[in-house]
Amino acid sequence: MSQRTGWNIASAVNVRNPILDALVDIDTTPKTDKPFISLALGDPTKNPLLQPHPDVVEAVASALRSGQFNGYGPHEGLSIARAAVAEYQNRQAAGRGVPGVNVKYETKDVTMANGASEALDIVISALCPPGSNILFPRPGFAYSVVTDARHIEDRYYNLVPEREWEVDLEQLESLIDGKTQAIVVTNPSNPCGSNYTVKHLLEIVEIAKRHFLPVITDEIYGDIVFDDQIFHPLASISTDVPVITIGGLAKRWLVPGWRIGWVAIHDPNDLLNVKKFDLRTILKDISQLSLAPSGFTQAALPTILNKTPPEFYTHVLNVLKENVALLMEKLGAIEGLKVVTPRGSLYLMVGIESTAFEDIKDEWDFVQKLVWEEAVFPVPGRCFRYDGYMRIVTATRKDHLEEACIRLKAFCDRHRRKV
């Protein structure tokens, strides 16, 4: 057998995160000494008004102090944590769906993971053999880190800004072939800020049903919706198509650093539990890669999910709503920008009409020049595979948003095409 002849080490994986790549590709050194304002990071904890509730922190601290969670736990997660997630998801779905659907998660339906990110990884890895394909939304979150790592093909269905970022159903269906394994839906959406109606969710599930595809629904922003909006968990509208829900603490409880996420399986007809394929067992097996999130954080879940005072959620929504109102008013008045009203999540998308400007090629160029000249940094749409828009984080401190709007206006006025 031939031997290695040198240090020619090769990697079989090339994981690209288009969002992080952009942070590298954009020169973030302003040519002004104005203080830098980032509108880019989807981390609410930078805002002093968006801090976790003290009861939530205490739940983790007391689990840690108890000394009961220092050892290894089951790799699919602690059963008290899985039961708490099941209870939470059941409550969230109650009364939100269509008649005839009874969402009733049990402990066995829940697998714990290190954040929604790992939850996505274990589900996608379980459902998609190498060489198969999976459908992601465009614009969308950086789901391709999973498919890159697992040698799965990523395909993108379009969301339509003029229709509140609903799915272009025809184009979605045209992507499906015999090797398609699942459809991923993000609702409410990062980066779009949309929140789908029951009618639209039913249309998506109808396509999944026609092609025998499970739906993976990323509901990390579940219940972060504004005003008269209602968040409808996708599981609550599916009578037969298997729906696999991804959730986690990061966004709604404002603790992305805690790395708690989960998978919950809604499969009324047991289609994911057949002779050679039992999704619950496969998820449990894959969980051996990381052996579940830290025990004491999991142990706090019954308190966090089911006992956080309702005022906390209202407070978070009020902070976001105020910021959204400010952005809608200030950015809406700037010629050349087109703000799409967000219905939920922590973001809003702003369209950039490059023809309105004299020397701006596209949204990428807009963001680069904005950073150089005004030290304001939103995420260019290209990072979500969607040119012509930029994403603004609405969880940003209000005083920073106010100042950013002033600078954005000055920037646009300076570059606007003269008529």
**Which residue shows structure tokens 């509108």?**
39
Q: Which is nearer to ligand PLP, 293 or 388 (CB)?
A: 293
Candidates 112, 124, 220, 263; binder of ligand PLP (CB under 6 A) is 220
Report the alpha-carbon distance of residue 337 to residue 304 in Å, rounded. Answer: 40
- Beta carbon of residue 246, minimum distance to ligand PLP (angstroms, whole number): 7
Residue 216 makes contact with ligand PLP by CB under 6 A: no
Distance of CA 163 to the CA centre of its chain: 20
Q: Which is nearer to ligand PLP, 313 or 372 (CB)?
A: 313
Segment near ligand PLP (CB under 6 A); pick from 11-19, 207-215, 246-254, 356-364? 246-254
- Beta carbon of residue 105, minimum distance to ligand PLP (angstroms, whole number): 19
- Are 244 and 263 a contacting pair, CB within 8 Å? yes
With a CB cutoff of 8 Å and minimum separation 6, the contacts of 342 are 192, 193, 194, 226, 324, 348, 349, 394
Candidates 30, 77, 139, 248; binder of ligand PLP (CB under 6 A) is 248
Q: Are strands 261-266 and 110-113 parallel, antiparallel or unpaired?
A: antiparallel
Report the alpha-carbon distance of residue 186 to residue 135 in Å, rounded. Answer: 11
Candidates 250, 292, 371, 392; binder of ligand PLP (CB under 6 A) is 250
Q: Which is nearer to ligand PLP, 190 or 245 (CB)?
A: 190
Q: Which is nearer to ligand PLP, 164 or 218 (CB)?
A: 218
- By CB under 6 A, the residues from 367 to 386 that bind ligand PLP are none
Residue 99: Cβ within 10 Å count: 6
Candidates 88, 105, 136, 141; binder of ligand PLP (CB under 6 A) is 141
- Beta carbon of residue 143, minimum distance to ligand PLP (angstroms, whole number): 8
- Beta carbon of residue 176, minimum distance to ligand PLP (angstroms, whole number): 22
Candidates 214, 261, 295, 342; binder of ligand PLP (CB under 6 A) is 261
Q: Tell whether omega for the bond before 129 is within 30 degrees of 0, i.e. cis.
A: no
> DSSP readout, 126-166?
HH--TT-EEEEEES--STHHHHHHHT-EEEEEEEEGGGTTE
The tokens for 31 are 């040519």
Segment near ligand PLP (CB under 6 A); pick from 114-122, 127-135, 358-366, 388-396? 114-122
Return the DSSP state at 189: P
Segment near ligand PLP (CB under 6 A); pick from 102-110, 151-159, 244-252, 284-292? 244-252
Return the DSSP state at 66: T
- Beta carbon of residue 379, minimum distance to ligand PLP (angstroms, whole number): 12
Residue 208: Cβ within 10 Å count: 24
Residue 389 makes contact with ligand PLP by CB under 6 A: no
Residue 218 makes contact with ligand PLP by CB under 6 A: yes
Residue 193 makes contact with ligand PLP by CB under 6 A: no
Give CA separation, 292 vs 79, 114, 246, 298, 308, in Å: 12, 7, 15, 9, 23
Site size toward ligand PLP, by CB under 6 A? 14
Site string for ligand PLP, 344-363 (x = CB under 6 A): --------------------
> DSSP readout, 1-18?
-----S-----S-----H
- Beta carbon of residue 7, minimum distance to ligand PLP (angstroms, whole number): 35
Segment near ligand PLP (CB under 6 A); pick from 65-73, 115-123, 165-173, 306-314? 115-123
Distance of CA 232 to the CA centre of its chain: 16
Give the full edge-to-edge strand order of the sheet including 379-380.
337-339, 347-352, 389-393, 379-380
Q: Catalog residues that contact ligand PLP under the rule CB under 6 A.
A: 42, 115-117, 141, 186, 190, 218, 220, 248, 250-251, 256, 261
